[in-house]
A = this chain, B = another copy of it.
Amino acid sequence: ARPRVGYFYTGKTGAQLLTEKIGKLTVKNYQSIPVVVNESASVYDAICTMFLEDVGTLFVVNRTSHLVGILSRKDLLRASMGKQDLESMPVNIIMTRMPNITTCEPTDLLLDVAQILITKQIDGLPVVNFKETDGETKMEVVGRVTKTSITKAFVDIANNKIV
């Protein structure tokens, strides 16, 4: 297509257009596949999973596949420095659990997530759907959104791949 040049009416400055464009990106456009481990898995298994799947954050789920914890590379590194036996230590001893888990939903703005990642100094968030079961709110993990996702969005915007 030929570039549109000349006078045109927008009522907006370039900067406003930019802000708007970024403000339209949602988590579901950039989320990747979540990598989960069961809460009964050992720290050793979790480290192996992290290497095999090449991710920086693992989500811990219970028997009904609902989110109960998060394991960062830092959590696993800290555990592996100790003198304990990693194969007999379950992940639920070292994982971050509620209410200290920050989550997001597929319809959340990518920009809001980016701001949370910076402010809370974390690498990634689980993308969840909330479900009401037996009067309790459960979280079903449907994705993973990280600084890598944001970096991809940054490249896409610069390369004009976002309409």
Contact = CB atoms under 8 A, between A and B. Distances in A.
Contact of A14 (B17, B115, B146, B154): B17
Interface in A110-163: 111, 114-115, 117-118, 121, 123, 146-148, 150-155, 157-160
Given A14-B14, A14-B17, A73-B74, A158 B22 contact: yes
Contacts of A146: 147
Contacts of A18: 14, 17-18, 21, 157-158, 160
Copies, count: 2
B13 A21 contact: no
Given A4-B13, A12-B5, A151-B147, A159 B74 contact: no
Q: What's the dominant secondary structure at chain A's contact region?
A: helix
Interface string A29-52: 000000000000000100100110
Interface residues of A, number: 54
B73 A160 contact: no
A89 interface: no
Nearest to A152: B118
Interface of A: 3-19, 21-23, 44, 47, 50-51, 54, 56, 73-74, 76-78, 80-81, 86, 111, 114-115, 117-118, 121, 123, 146-148, 150-155, 157-160
A46 B38 CA distance: 30
Given A18-B160, A47-B77, 11 more contacts: A6-B9, A19-B159, A80-B80, A111-B158, A114-B151, A114-B158, A118-B152, A147-B148, A147-B150, A147-B151, A150-B150
